[in-house]
Amino acid sequence: NAGVTQTPKFQVLKTGQSMTLQCAQDMNHEYMSWYRQDPGMGLRLIHYSVGAGITDQGEVPNGYNVSRSTTEDFPLRLLSAAPSQTSVYFCATKPVGVFSGANVLTFGAGSRLTVL
Amino acid sequence: QKEVEQDPGPLSVPEGAIVSLNCTYSNSAFQYFMWYRQYSRKGPELLMYTYSSGNKEDGRFTAQVDKSSKYISLFIRDSQPSDSATYLCAMSAMNTDKLIFGTGTRLQVFP
């Protein structure tokens, strides 16, 4: 039982390059989300999904794209990387249902991205 | 003004001290209150969770919610060097997936 697995752990990009951060979970959680964490800004929601085929924008979606074709996977795509996207990215999941209001998230270990 | 305010610290205390970590918030609709602990270069992990007002105790940790003052606290008794981490408060209203995080308080417990 691996929980939430993020790859890669570290990545350096040049401005304008594209890449995909991977998130996989084995807990059968319907809800999956991507956050970025920046000093002094806390965790900010980028995109989220409440099930396969359903995605929605969070607080800071610009420059990022997501899709959800399976319950297990929720990749985050950077279309044209910018230095402002230098951050630590976390994937977080939770079940949807009776306890969904509690919003108790399970986080991955993070992906540290630097854009030069 | 941010919905959730949290002092970033760092807070440095000797081993064995009682630690008080706090958050204030502005949205009276918040009903669920959580504390996450985040070790350096790791993901946040849930430490405590409370619903509405009151106290909740788990070992050396006590979470307290005062909805009338829009103020939540996390107390750590007999603090240990292993408690050194960043503590994030988080909260949400009923029937929403939206979770609002504080910026985190960095705690250092020295031997």
Give the pLDDT score at A102. Answer: 60
Cβ distance of B96 and A101 shorter than 8 Å: yes
Among B38, B92, B101, most A C-beta atoms within 10 A, so best to mutate, is: B101
DSSP A72-104: SB--EEESS--GGG-EEEEEEEE--STTGGG--
Query: If you average pLDDT over residues B3-12, what whole number do you get?
Result: 91
In the prediction, which pLDDT does A31 show? Answer: 92
Instruction: Spell out the residues 6+ positions from residue B65 whose beta carbon is closer than 8 angstroms to its own.
Output: B33, B50, B52, B53, B54, B55, B71, B72
Helices and strands (H, E) in chain B, number of each type: 0, 11
A:B CB pairs within 8 Å: 63
Residues near A17 by beta carbon (within 8 Å), at least 6 away in sequence:
A80, A81
Mean pLDDT of chain A: 92
Four-CA torsion A106, A71, A24, B94, nearest 10 degrees = -20
The pLDDT assigned to A114 comes to: 97
pLDDT at site A70: 95
A103, B97: Cβ pair inside 8 Å? yes
For residue range A16-41, what is the model confidence (pLDDT) as tens digits? 999 999 999 999 999 999 999 998 88
The whole-number pLDDT of residue A80 equals 96
- Selecting from B8, B34, B42 the residue whose C-beta is nearest the C-beta of A40 gives B8
pLDDT of residue A40: 83
The secondary element (H helix, E strand) that includes residue B88 is strand B85-93
For A103, name the nearest residue in chain B, comparing CA atoms only. B97
Q: Let me know: does B13 contact B75? Beta carbons within 8 Å.
A: no
| Cα Rg, chain B, nearest whole Å | 13
Classify residue B20 by its DSSP letter. E
**Average pLDDT of chain B, as a whole number:** 93
The proportion of chain B whose per-residue pLDDT surpasses 70, expressed as a percent, equals: 100
Q: Which of A66-70, A91-95, B71-75, B97-101 has the lowest mean pLDDT?
A: B97-101
pLDDT the model gives residue B24: 97
How far apart CA B100 and CA B84 sit, in angstroms, is: 23
CB contact under 8 A, B8 and A4: no
Q: How confident is the model at residue B2 (pLDDT cuts 50, 70, 90)?
A: confident
User: pLDDT tens digits for A96-109?
Assistant: 765 555 678 999 99
Cα nearest neighbour of A4 on chain B = B43
pLDDT tens column, A51-73: 999 999 999 999 999 999 999 99
Of B80 and A101, the one with more pLDDT: B80
pLDDT digits (tens, 9 = 90+) for B25-56: 999 999 999 999 999 999 999 999 888 888 99
